[in-house]
Structure 1
């Protein structure tokens, strides 16, 4: 009886040792994964810090002023008027939020209408944004489908 009991205890101890070793091995693998993830996170944080420093360097006002002066003839930049700034609520709707156009309200122009059809009260062509949503384009008298491209021209 003692020999059977000893054999059972030896079997239980062997099984316990195997389970303990398996758990220890899995824990070491998880610890290696944690260290790898921490290294990746540190690399990403360092990259973000580097990009922030680069952005600060690239957007320095004196650097931008030198670039504007150097390329003024090519870019023909003008100062932004204070009236050109808008609030978020004044921005046009997303295409998904724009209601379907009423055919009776819209001018039935040819597909791919150009700026020549967008006349204001003065009879001159009015500027229309190139990617203007349908509702904004309709305000200028041009009907535009999702696939239409609006050409812009010079407005005198």
Structure 2
């Protein structure tokens, strides 16, 4: 005869088996997702390498020189004159603009430091 404890134990085993199966199924799904994502990453890396190789071929100086010569009439390219080049320290620097605080309608602007005289204060 089955006792109450036996029925509870059978139910617990069935529940544990169900939970174990669900966890295994979810793990398999996640593993498939991981493999798919890794394949996409490999494809992206391969694409990047291919594009970098293509860029290296397209920017070869010999190729660019041939194209420049072929389209000289249309582009009207000229060699750069050394006088056209400037170092960063030779460029004019804009004056730094310090933001001024907003004044209320009845407030006077502050006196600049170069206008302040040092002397005795008259009362």
- Report the TM-score, using the length of structure 1 for normalisation: 0.53
Provide runs of 4+ in structure 1 moved above 2 Å.
79-87
| Uncovered stretches (5+) of structure 1, i.e. residues with no partner | 99-156
What is the match of residue 6 of structure 1? 6
Q: CA deviation at 1:28?
A: 0.6
| Cα 1:32–1:79 shift into 2, 3 Å | same
Distance between the aligned counterparts of 1:18 and 1:10, measured in 2? 12
Structure having the higher helix fraction is: 2
What is the match of residue 45 of structure 2? 45
Distance between the aligned counterparts of 1:12 and 1:85, measured in 2? 82
What is the match of residue 85 of structure 2? 84
Alignment of 1:1-156 (within 5 A): 3-82=3-82, 83-84=84-85, 87=88
Distance between the aligned counterparts of 1:27 and 1:2, measured in 2? 36
How many positions carry a matched residue from both structures? 93
| Cα 1:64–1:11 shift into 2, 3 Å | same
| Cα 1:13–1:81 shift into 2, 3 Å | farther
Q: CA RMSD in A?
A: 2.6
SS of the residue 1:77 aligns to: coil
| Uncovered stretches (5+) of structure 2, i.e. residues with no partner | 98-123
Distance between the aligned counterparts of 2:22 and 2:35, measured in 1? 20
- Report the TM-score, using the length of structure 2 for normalisation: 0.66
SS of the residue 2:3 aligns to: helix
Distance between the aligned counterparts of 1:81 and 1:23, measured in 2? 72
Of the two structures, which has the highest relative contact order with CA contacts closer than 8 Å and spacing of 6 or more?
1
